[in-house]
């Protein structure tokens, strides 16, 4: 299979070709068509499998096909929210979003704790299509009234098992209560404990399940 067979927008394919990737990895080959078709997804995949592009590419495609909603502040509303366990992963994911989306009229930003809040508040207030965040800082910003998550159409939980291992289950549940019920949800996890399965059962509607083994 080639990337050209995946029905992604030409602007996305151009950015993918520039990265030098030749063929989709197994998780990409399976996840991209499912996400493009609007399905929820339960994906078993570790870092190194190409999981970031597996959700980022079809998410960018879908967002590029529709107009941005307005948030309650009158700016561009957040359409996709990606939660990650660590700031390093959040920064990496947002960098991928920028890279794959560089020929699209879609913007993104990243918020995480341990750094000043004001620059994050400024960027979020100006309006953003895709927000990548760690749960704690996201809730801080929301509780202070700087975030409107009511326009979210796609929710991604990346490395959900690590998120739970790090004690973020309550924060994740709070975030789930702030986004609309009607949305597309994608859950990526390397392992599947009962807790992850419970989370998947609450969040996902008729999900497609994908499991890949890591490539070395």
Residues of the shown chain interacting with ligand AMP in the complex, contacts defined by CB under 6 A: 21, 24-25, 28, 47-53
Token readout for 42 is 């339960």
- In the chain, the N- to C-terminal Cα span, in Å, equals 20
Of 21 and 38, which CB lies nearer to ligand AMP in the complex structure? 21
Q: Measured from the CB atom, is 149 or 212 closer to ligand AMP?
A: 212
CB–CB of 199/160 below 8 Å?
Answer: yes
Query: What are all long-range contacts of 124-128, with beta carbons under 8 Å and residues at least 24 apart?
Result: 125/73, 125/75, 126/75, 127/68, 127/71, 127/75, 127/76, 127/77, 128/76, 128/78
Residue 112 or 149 having the CB closest to ligand AMP:
112
Count the Cβ atoms, other than its own, within 10 Å of residue 11: 17
CB of 102 to ligand AMP, least distance (A): 15
**Minimum gap (Å) between residue 49 Cβ and ligand AMP:** 5
Residue 6 C-beta: closest distance to ligand AMP, Å: 11
Output 51 or 137, the one with its CB closest to ligand AMP: 51
How many angstroms separate the CA atoms of 142 and 163, rounded? 19
Nearest-approach distance from CB 108 to ligand AMP, in angstroms: 16
Q: Which residue's CB atom is positioned nearest to ligand AMP?
A: 52
């Amino acid at each position: 299979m080639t990337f050209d067979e995946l029905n992604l927008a030409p602007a996305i394919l151009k950015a993918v070709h520039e990265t030098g990737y030749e063929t989709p990895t197994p998780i990409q080959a399976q996840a991209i068509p499912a996400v493009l078709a609007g399905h929820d997804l339960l994906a078993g995949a570790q870092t190194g499998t190409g999981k970031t592009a597996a959700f980022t590419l079809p998410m960018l495609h879908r967002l590029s096909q529709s107009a941005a909603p307005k948030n309650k502040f009158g700016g561009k509303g957040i359409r996709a929210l990606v939660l990650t366990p660590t700031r390093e992963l959040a920064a990496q994911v947002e960098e991928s979003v920028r890279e794959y989306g560089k020929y699209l009229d879609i913007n993104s930003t990243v918020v995480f704790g341990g750094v000043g809040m004001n620059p994050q508040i400024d960027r979020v207030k100006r309006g953003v299509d895709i927000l990548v965040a760690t749960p704690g800082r996201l809730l801080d910003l929301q509780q202070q009234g700087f975030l409107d998550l009511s326009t979210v159409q796609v929710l991604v939980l990346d490395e959900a098992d690590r998120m739970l291992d790090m004690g973020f289950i309550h924060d994740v549940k709070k975030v789930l209560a702030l986004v609309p019920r009607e949305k597309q949800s994608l859950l990526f996890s390397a392992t599947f404990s009962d807790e992850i399965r419970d989370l998947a059962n609450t969040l996902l509607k008729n999900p497609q399940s994908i499991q890949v083994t890591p490539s070395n």
